[in-house]
Structure 1
């Protein structure tokens, strides 16, 4: 049986998943711990957004091994099918929330640079918490509606879809849809493109362009701060261009053609790299994160030096 999954190079899928996990998990865990410590000592709005972005990535990375198992089985679902339902929810939830938290971080940076006096207002912590809650509620509600659309029973039958169970043998996760299921799902995907790609991208572009212009006109601003602002902007745009854009384009193409594009799973695979690029964001916005990474690098260098000396001693003994 030929389909969108088995036609794809599953070895590439598995490789991307493993690389994402190995790079993303330690850096995201470090960002999470750093944010918790900073909030405990001196809470600021940016740290709350960084914490929520780290939580979003950790949720994604925690369930990524399930996708690894699926790719290792050539995209055949050999696990309990109830896990497919839950894994889908926990897989798409962080992808959508990440784009909104990246937009929130860009807006926070813009407010910090443009209105430095108002930025120090104690009320901003309350506003930040409310924004974070709103983002999670919006993402959860949208994901639930998309999930409901995909699993709604339908009596409609056509030449391209099957009536009855969502999957056929060999069992696959989130692939076969009835005509009504696909129609409702494509509508929700179009909503997702507007809410979780177009709107956040516009906000990020406006905020970071404004921030860079303002900092470039201030003579007393240190060069390293300008470079961090540029790095933050480039890192964010990199995430949108590589991770979110192909996936969103697949939604648009699918809605126009009223079908699942054959290359959709490849675009979804690229979205997993989001957890690899987010450490760039953490590095640019947190001095504690930069210090922690520098300490880790020093420790690795010392370990390498000790191992090198030990091997030399064994060689010349």
Structure 2
């Protein structure tokens, strides 16, 4: 049973890496071009930051793949365990507050469109992104501190070393309360904020008669993908913090919960697609390139890919200007 478990975890990590990396690289290229334009919208700065957080997780994922291939034991240098855990979990918790920031921006954009346009400044997006990064990295510094104040390898007593799992009793007295704080401050609070903002956002978009059907579908899709991110991806991992604090040890299913957390790197590109016409065009070009490569390599005429954005009449023709895809004015 353990071999099957390890194989499933390994397969999941590989799929997440192979699907998430190219999608996030496409989104990165699109957002970099967008924020370089004069007066970019705060939401594009937040989306760019979310893309960078996903790429950080994906770049560290090969170490998790090696760990899964070694029966979830860490045979690499201990310093790599600390660095991987620090960056991996920091990117996860940075994503939760960035998602909350995006939800706030979307809500303000449709609830107070005039005031939002008049007061919108790129610096607000920069400040929100910096706060999210500082909060996540600051809290997750405990990964490095605990790792070297009292090395986790000392807790193994000759047993196999599992990265960021083998702790002494003294270390658990520090780690478990910190994990509980991570769950409350970096998961539950941003989740509540996000649910409220998207509930209001979707309600406004669905009740305004002049909002087009495509915008309404994108609004619902954006809310659903974000909710799945919190409940499916981040939920199990943070529930493991609550269980661990209550029982005094990590639950046996914590490794699987970590896999679900990394799944957000493949769900976020869907969020980018629903959020920005820039990304929709980038994905459309990417699909067209794949179609051309398919035709060239196989020497056959592949089925013509549907135009992703060409027929989207709801896309603002002044997308080069700092505008939002979701406005009610």
* C-alpha deviation, 1:166, in angstroms: 3.9
* C-alpha deviation, 1:74, in angstroms: 1.3
Q: Are the equivalent residues in 1 in contact too, given 2:154–2:168 (CA < 8 A)?
A: no
TM-score (norm 1): 0.88
Task: Structure 2 unaligned segments of length 5 or more: list them.
Answer: 302-329
Matching of residue 112 in structure 1 with residue 109 in structure 2? yes
User: Aligned runs of 1:14-53 on 2, under 5 Å?
Assistant: 14-42=10-38, 43-53=40-50
User: Aligned runs of 1:138-177 on 2, under 5 Å?
Assistant: 138-149=135-146, 151-153=148-150, 165-167=154-156, 168-177=158-167
Q: Which residue of 2 aligns with 1:97?
A: 94
Q: Which residue of 2 aligns with 1:222?
A: 212
Instruction: Please list the CA deviations of residues 124-163 of structure 1 after superposition, one character each: whole Å capped at 9, or x if unmatched.
Output: 3222211111111111110013542465439xxxxxxxx9
Pair 1:308–1:150, CA change in 2 (3 A): closer
- Aligned to 2:121, the other structure's residue is in SS state helix
Paired with 2:172 and 2:82, the residues of 1 have a C-alpha distance of: 17
Whichever of the two has the greater Rg, that structure is 1
Paired with 1:12 and 1:210, the residues of 2 have a C-alpha distance of: 39
Instruction: Please list the CA deviations of residues 160-190 of structure 1 after superposition, one character each: whole Å capped at 9, or x if unmatched.
Output: xxx9714444333222211121121110111
TM-score (norm 2): 0.85
Paired with 1:20 and 1:95, the residues of 2 have a C-alpha distance of: 14
Q: Are the equivalent residues in 1 in contact too, given 2:86–2:143 (CA < 8 A)?
A: no
Q: Which residue of 2 aligns with 1:263?
A: 253
Q: Are the equivalent residues in 2 in contact too, given 1:150–1:182 (CA < 8 A)?
A: no
User: Aligned runs of 1:168-187 on 2, under 5 Å?
Assistant: 168-187=158-177
- Aligned to 1:41, the other structure's residue is in SS state coil
Aligned residues: 299
Paired with 1:13 and 1:102, the residues of 2 have a C-alpha distance of: 26
- Aligned to 1:102, the other structure's residue is in SS state helix
- Aligned to 1:75, the other structure's residue is in SS state coil
Pair 1:195–1:284, CA change in 2 (3 A): same
Q: Which residue of 1 aligns with 2:62?
A: 65
Instruction: Please list the CA deviations of residues 229-249 of structure 1 after superposition, one character each: whole Å capped at 9, or x if unmatched.
Output: 100000001111111111111
Q: Are the equivalent residues in 1 in contact too, given 2:89–2:140 (CA < 8 A)?
A: yes
Q: Are the equivalent residues in 1 in contact too, given 2:74–2:162 (CA < 8 A)?
A: yes
Matching of residue 9 in structure 1 with residue 12 in structure 2? no
- Aligned to 1:165, the other structure's residue is in SS state helix
Which residue, out of 114, 121, 125, partners 1:124? Answer: 121
Task: Structure 1 unaligned segments of length 5 or more: list them.
Answer: 155-162, 312-317
* C-alpha deviation, 1:307, in angstroms: 4.3
Paired with 2:53 and 2:87, the residues of 1 have a C-alpha distance of: 10
